[in-house]
Amino acid sequence: MSAGILKPPEGELIVSYGGGVNTIAVLLALYEHGVRPRAITMADPGSEWPATIAYREEIMRPWCARVGFPEILVLTRKEEGQHRPRAWRLETLSEECLRIGSLPSVAYGWKKCSAKYKAEPQRWWTERQPWAQEAWAAGHKVVRVIGYDRDEERRVNKANSVNWAPALEMARFAYWHPLYELGLDRDGCKDLILRHGFDLPPKSACTFCPNNHLDEWQKLRDEEPGKFAEAVAMSQQARVDVPDVVGLMRCNEHGKRQLHVWANGDYESVRAGAELESDCECAT
């Protein structure tokens, strides 16, 4: 058992499933402490690494069924938008970027793609559930379970602050961080997963995430040529304000950040830059 005793907040629990180490660890921690969520939702922007999908389908879905947890629901903005009262453009993140000649927002130093393609579809789905509507009508909150660990205090504090989200959302949702509450850091999360006999899951992220490092671009090129071609097309079509400073290869040095240039062999060498901190929920 993990150290400490988990005491979930009152309300229905929804686990936000990102697909990475922290996601798997939080599910195992809930199981160890006898806490059963009402729902487990994964928002897919349409570009998850195949290994992340395989881990979900081959390992976590059977495990959830075996221990009596709810099925992992895969949600997309494209599908959930059909239930909205106004007309939404129904597309994936890559389709949006290719349509407008842009890159995922993190390439420009913003962090909007996760909110638009991960947070919103999960919120929209929750708003459609009768049990959530009943809770809100009674003045109760629905509890979102997020896999931030002990080393992510800044993100925990932000989630618990009163000003980071619209007032309506803050009135409807509470946020709970079991890994942080248990004092589990990243290594502790990995130990928990291994102790349950699971292999460690791959990093969860979009295949064309601007936070990819050189080895990840090389892996995408070698193992997923179709997805790599999509990323190259996105890079080629993007309208960037400062050429060779903004680009999908954001983690590389200035002047060597354009994926389509690297793909064509025009950079003699590319040095992977220092890892950049990101609030992207898909990496949990």
Same domain as 176, residue 42: yes
Cβ–Cβ < 8 Å for 272, 214 = yes
**Six-digit token string for 116:** 């638009």
Phi, psi angles (nearest 5°) of residue 83: -95, 0
Question: Global pTM?
Answer: 0.87
Does 115 map to a domain?
yes
Question: pLDDT tens-digit profile of 36-74?
Answer: 999 999 999 999 999 999 999 999 999 999 999 999 999
Same domain as 178, residue 67: yes
Same domain as 260, residue 131: no
Does 2 map to a domain?
no
Same domain as 87, residue 142: yes
Q: Which domain holds residue 48?
A: 13-195
Tell whether the model's pLDDT for residue 81 goes beyond 50: yes
Does 166 map to a domain?
yes
What whole-number distance in Å separates Cα of residue 279 and Cα of residue 106?
A: 10
What whole-number distance in Å separates Cα of residue 253 and Cα of residue 236?
A: 19
Tell whether the model's pLDDT for residue 164 goes beyond 60: no
**Six-digit token string for 23:** 């996601």
Same domain as 120, residue 178: yes
Distances (CA, A) of 25 to 19, 207, 262: 10, 23, 36
Phi, psi angles (nearest 5°) of residue 72: -75, 120
Question: pLDDT tens-digit profile of 186-237?
Answer: 999 999 999 999 999 998 999 999 999 999 999 999 999 999 999 999 999 9
